[in-house]
Structure 1
Amino acid sequence: MKNQKTRRPGEVVFNAVLFAFSLFIFWQAYGISGFSSLSSAGTFPLAMSGIMIVTAASVLFRSMRLSVPQGGFAAFRREVLPPVVLIFSLFILAYSMAMKSLGFLAASFVFLLASIWFLERGRFSRALLLSIVSIVGVYIVFRLIFQVVLPEGIIPERAIAAAIGDFLKGGAKP
């Protein structure tokens, strides 16, 4: 890394949040079993979160010593919150809101299709193929193999899973 003389927009705030998160993780790790012995369940999480605190503090203090960047909020918005990040954040918000009513399969398919289409800049056939392959793969791994119950919504997943299970067992018995 080159010898940086000015900090990047938002760098101090990000590093402060990272430091606060490290403190929170340390507190959570201490809650596991305190520090009763070196072989207790909380020892490793305490050690790792302690390392996080030291490194986050070091990075925070180093960034605070650098000079303030030029450009103010415009530079922050350009470098930290470009339009693609804002649009994708809206996609994620819409996905989380649609999950309950549409269910996992439909909401995830629409989210993936819209996201890939947006990121691929209009290559709809590729977005459609990747979305279908991804949803089928996730469904097989999580719903059929690990038997994770996913929000059902408008697609009758239980009926689909039962039909696939019957098919794999050699067909339904009369």
Structure 2
Amino acid sequence: MAQRGEAVFSLLLLAAAIFLSAEAYGIDGIGNWDSAGSIPLISTAAMVLTAGFVAVRSLVGQRTGDAGGLKTSGEPDSATDSGTGASAYGADTSAPLLSIDLIGVLMLLFAYVVAIGYTGFYPASLVFVAATIWFLQRGRPVQATAIALLCVVAIYAAFETFFQVRLP
């Protein structure tokens, strides 16, 4: 059976995707493929399709007691699981919704958004990516900083040279 709130959450995601798609259409409409709104329109169309697919599967799963062919937590499968909460994909679906990792990354994200206004995009992004990798790997600060530096240099190269867009 689908988990409580799954259908409501998937319908909220679908509504958000439709709203974002309408906003993307408002940028430049459906003009040329090289117009300013083409990439946002394509990506939000993909969001609407996938969110719609997830919503239909969760609604059908709630009605029939099935998860659309996927095994959910609480339904042991003797071939792969003995009631431990491991899903068909190997993930533990009985884990708490808010983990320490999620809370930590959300706090780093909040600090990142605040820092962009004070330091600018590139320094804030460097610190955010390095801190997030360091936090999630539980160490290795040199490796985290090196990866963050490569990411920021790649973003700089892509936007400043290829797209010729100056980021704040």
TM-score, normalised by the number of residues in structure 1: 0.56
What percent identity do the matched residue pairs reach?
31
How far did residue 50 of structure 1 move? Answer: 8.4
Residue 60 to residue 29, structure 1, CA distance change in 2 (3 Å): farther
The C-alpha deviation readout for 1:2-37, integer Å capped at 9, x for no partner, is: xxxx2235422322213433554676699858xxxx
Aligned to 2:56: 58
Higher relative contact order (CA 8 A, sep 6+): 1
| Partner SS state of residue 90, structure 1 | helix
Q: What corresponds to 1:85 in structure 2?
A: 102
**What aligned pairs does 1:137-148 form with structure 2 within 5 A after superposition?**
137-148=154-165
Structure 1: tracts of 5 or more residues without a match: 1-5, 34-44, 71-75, 152-174
Counterpart residue number, 1:13: 8
Measure the CA separation in 1 of the matches of 2:161 and 2:112: 23
Distance change in 2, residues 1:89/1:63 (3 Å): farther
**Which structure 2 segments of 5+ residues have no match?**
31-41, 67-72, 75-92
Q: Which amino acid aligns with 2:15?
A: A
Distance 1:49 1:77, change over 3 A: closer
1:112 and 2:129 correspond: yes
Letter in 1 for 2:56: S
Q: Over alpha carbons, which structure has the higher Rg? A: 1
The alpha-carbon distance between structure 1 residues 123 and 9, as it changes in their structure 2 partners (threshold 3 A), is: farther
**Normalization by structure 2: what TM-score?**
0.58
